Amino acid sequence: MIPPETQYARAPDGTPIAYQVTGGGDVDLVFMQGAVAHLDLQWEDPRLTRLFERLSAFSRLIRFDRRGMGMSGVLERLPTFEEQVEDFGTVMDAVESERAALFGTIDAGTFALAFAAAHPERTQAVVAFETAPRWTRSDTDDYGVEPEVLSRFAEATQAMDLDGQLSIVAPSRMEDPSFRSWFRRYTRSAQSGLPVQAFMMMMMTFDIRDRLSAIDVPVLVLNRAAHAILPIRNARALAAALPNARLVELAGHDTAIFSSDVDAVADEIQEFLTGKRPPSRQDRVLATVLFTDIVGSTDTAARMGDREWRELLERHNRVLRASIERLGGQEVHTAGDGFLATFDSPRRAIECARAAGDAVRAIGIEIRAGVHTGEIELSQSDIQGIAVHIGARISALAGAGEVFVSSTVKDLVAGSGIQFEDRGVHQLKGVPGEWRVFAVSPPGVTGG
């Protein structure tokens, strides 16, 4: 899917609200992402792209950045709760939507519920993903989070402590180098004038418990069962307090909507809004996966500055895509400075990694690469399965300019003339057993 043009609505106080529209389905679905957001950078994460594609297949998906975040206008003060609630209506007016389903994650779900209470004539339904009517924990009911948890995340965000952030937001993707690079840029770019932690602390003042009984439209309450910040008790209490709610408990413990299985999220939303659940899309095939990412990208980006780094990254992307296409591969996705591609031949995947490494070295950067062959699950624009995890873990072991492969790949290319150096046995995080890893020797070098 090609990212759409960003457009702007003007709130009553003059604040510009950035929005994008994709799809042309019968349902208008207005989506505000909570905590942090950036309309353009969201397209660089494959799981978010996958989510947008799924939702756009049955709706007119209208996404917008909250005021003071991402591409929306810079703020000099924190917005009021009611201003953020009414931004749903501002965006609806801009796209000429008289009545829409509202979709909010985290604190944006609180805004969506409040809009439904105030404007039932404009609200078709609400999807509240990992949200709460009140965020401060109390012994009187099951709502809210412990302030210490939210404070810990806010402090990690302020200190640019990536591991501290990901341990709460996306623990399942902490070891993915491409995701780490993207998430770092995403959270930095999301701040538009005011720090993210100021918005998070503001969340702790929200309380719409007295408005829940006025929400008579259908509400889908979604929550991951082992959510790191918002316990499932909150979602159960929220669904019980709403006149017309359906609760779905999803597997997983990540906070961010793009961290776990986005197809499961999209399936539930599609069934809720259309009455039809999509058929299973997964097929298993044997393929070779190639992972690459730039070595030292964070230091390079800091040294160069945003503009020069983006230009260099675009040159890197062109080089990778040319190598993948020339050797018959299929680009699956790119996130940050990393690529994932599939090949029907492990030899071609190795040749692609070598060629791409030589080409990007000429523009002043080094990449690392990992190659593994195994069964993968095809799911439209993404791939899944243990073979994908193995490839990512092997890639993370490689150094600058190196191509690492599994013993499976080494055995499959026997007789090809490619030589290897034994790099020992490793435990790959999240993968059972021990794995022997090999480095591809430079052409003309006899490996061990």
pLDDT in tens, 240-254: 999 999 999 988 778
Q: What is the CA radius of gyration of the chain?
A: 23
Sign of CA dihedral 68, 202, 171, 284: negative
Query: Quick one: pLDDT at residue 65?
Result: 95
Regarding beta strands 338-343 and 283-294, do their DSSP bridges make them parallel or antiparallel, or are they unpaired? antiparallel
Residue identified by tokens 């400075």 is 337
Q: Are 19 and 91 in contact (CB under 8 A)?
A: yes
- Residue 56 or residue 146, greater confidence: 56
Edge-to-edge, what's the strand order for the sheet holding 59-64?
Answer: 7-10, 16-22, 59-64, 27-32, 100-105, 123-129, 219-224, 245-250
Contacts of 2 (CB under 8 A, 6+ apart): none
pLDDT in tens, 373-427: 999 987 656 788 889 989 999 999 999 999 999 999 999 999 899 999 999 999 8
Sign of CA dihedral 280, 224, 45, 202: positive
Phi, psi dihedrals of residue 150, rounded to the nearest 5°: -65, -40
> Is residue 219 predicted with pLDDT exceeding 80?
yes
Say how far apart CA 349 and CA 343 lie, in whole Å.
6
SS3 256: coil
Query: What are the CA-CA distances from residue 225 to residues 51, 55, 341, 380, 404 (Å)?
Result: 20, 23, 32, 26, 37
pLDDT category of residue 316 using cuts at 50, 70 and 90: very high
Say how far apart CA 154 and CA 63 lie, in whole Å.
25
Strands (E), 163-276: 219-224, 245-250
- Residue 303 or residue 52, greater confidence: 52
pLDDT in tens, 329-367: 988 888 778 899 999 999 999 999 999 999 999 999 999
Phi, psi dihedrals of residue 324, rounded to the nearest 5°: -65, -45
Return the ∠ at Cα 409 (arms to 406 and 415), rounded to 5°.
Answer: 135
Query: What are the CA-CA distances from residue 70 to residues 19, 144, 307, 399 (Å)?
Result: 10, 26, 17, 34
Nearest residue to 406 via CA among 424, 381, 383, 429: 424
Query: Quick one: pLDDT at residue 306?
Result: 81
Say how far apart CA 220 and CA 210 lie, in whole Å.
19
Q: Are 90 and 10 in contact (CB under 8 A)?
A: yes
Sign of CA dihedral 61, 62, 67, 71: positive
Q: Are 248 and 225 in contact (CB under 8 A)?
A: no
> Is residue 160 predicted with pLDDT exceeding 90?
no
Tokens of 292: 């690459």
Tokens of 298: 């964070």
pLDDT category of residue 281 using cuts at 50, 70 and 90: low
Query: Quick one: pLDDT at residue 378?
Result: 78
Q: Please compute the mean of the pLDDT values over residues 135-160 and round it to a whole number.
A: 78
61, containing H or E segment = strand 59-64
pLDDT category of residue 263 using cuts at 50, 70 and 90: confident
**Domain range list for the chain:** 7-274, 283-440
Query: Quick one: pLDDT at residue 240?
Result: 96
The domain 283-440 is placed in CATH, from the list 3.40.50.1820, 3.40.50.10480, 3.40.50.150, 3.30.70.1230, at: 3.30.70.1230
Q: From the CB of residue 195, how many other CB atoms can be counted at a distance below 10 Å?
A: 13
- Residue 37 or residue 1, greater confidence: 37
> Is residue 255 predicted with pLDDT exceeding 90?
no
Query: Quick one: pLDDT at residue 202?
Result: 82
Phi, psi dihedrals of residue 146, rounded to the nearest 5°: -70, 130
333, containing H or E segment = strand 330-335
Regarding beta strands 434-440 and 283-294, do their DSSP bridges make them parallel or antiparallel, or are they unpaired? unpaired
Query: Quick one: pLDDT at residue 13?
Result: 93
Say how far apart CA 178 and CA 45 lie, in whole Å.
9
Q: Are 213 and 207 in contact (CB under 8 A)?
A: no
CATH architecture of the domain with residue range 7-274: 3-Layer(aba) Sandwich (3.40)
pLDDT category of residue 446 using cuts at 50, 70 and 90: low
